[in-house]
Amino acid sequence: GEDVEQSLFLSVREGDSSVINCTYTDSSSTYLYWYKQEPGAGLQLLTYIFSNMDMKQDQRLTVLLNKKDKHLSLRIADTQTGDSAIYFCAESIVTMPYKYIFGTGTRLKVLA
């Protein structure tokens, strides 16, 4: 079945780059997304990439998509303490009736 997998935890020092990884199984995804969830809040869209793109850059964020390996990554440059949160990757799939699968989330902790 369709699945999206992420590692559970990542810890980095302030000022370093963070790389959060995600693997997915369904190759019919149309868009892939990264969402951020801060404590006690809902998910907030960070960025998305269309499935026929390899890379997208948006200020400190860089998304890389390897369709052959079904691997998606989010790189955060110059990570700040305010980036500490849970990051979810997700894919939308044209063939599914409700079209969305979320990963279980990666908790990023930024150390000062």
Find the binder of another protein among 25, 27, 45, 71 (CB under 8 A): 45
Interaction between residue 31 and another protein (CB under 8 A): yes
Interaction between residue 44 and another protein (CB under 8 A): yes
Residues 6+ apart with CB under 8 A from 64: 54, 55, 72, 73, 75
Q: DSSP for 51-109? A: TT-SEEEETTEEEEEETTTTEEEEEESS--GGG-EEEEEEEEETTSSS-EEE---EEEE
Q: Which is nearer to another protein, 27 or 30 (CB)?
A: 30
Q: Which is nearer to another protein, 50 or 111 (CB)?
A: 50
Q: List residues near another protein by CB under 8 A.
A: 8, 30-31, 33, 35, 40-45, 48, 88, 90, 92, 97-100, 102-105
